[in-house]
Structure 1
Amino acid sequence: MPAYTETLPRVPESVLRARNLVDLSLSAWGVHDDQGAAKLVVSELVANTVQHARRSSFRVTVTWLGDNRVRVAVVDLSRTHPVRRSAGSDDESGRGLDIVDALSRGQWGVDSMRWGKRVRADLVFEETTGE
């Protein structure tokens, strides 16, 4: 499966670099549908990694799955899985995984690895050329 991937430093500025990787990937595959959903998903996954993971870097991968589907994944070296929280109306955080769940239509999850984890979300696009 075709994929674009990049190792990024675990700093807040990496959110923009991850969004750019998503934009590049989707454009290369002819995804003309709303790219904003994929960029928001990667933003949430990277923000969680920057805030909670260990080590100084992580890896972002955007994979063309076929059938107008794309997987956005973030791999880090922490074995601690993300937890969905119930955010109150005044809370400034705690909604990220709810956003990922909504935009991926529940098609997201965590894969444990010997040395860490991969958090992934699959997105379906209505209009692509699938190049």
Structure 2
Amino acid sequence: MQKTPIKNTPKYPVSEPSSIKHNSSVTDRIRATHQSGRVSNANAEKGIENAYIAKVERHMMNWNAVGAKGQWVTINLTIFNSGKFRYTSLGVSGAMQSSLKQYLNTLNRMGLGRHKKSSPYSIQVRFRVR
């Protein structure tokens, strides 16, 4: 019976521990970040802002212009935190302009809903009239 030699795996030198000392563990630091909200609050605010802007765009697309189907309309909105807004419209003329102005003035009286951002939202809504 012949014995086969056993291969020894080479041992790598153990690196010295870091000279930087931390008073807390990694999990403690991660937990503190989540509790302080530095990461999650920024994402939540962006999500709220996107949802608010999507709601405003849906309001704009509900406008029903008779005889102007297929035409592109661009509306620049400055929405204050009270929900009231100022607007300018591009690509609109004649009877369609008065219809859009009437719709936006009615919508402004009702308001678009309050938002919590300290400064006004400035958005541009571009859509095709249905």
Q: TM-score, normalised by structure 2?
A: 0.29
Q: TM-score, normalised by structure 1?
A: 0.29
Structure with the bigger percentage of strand: 1
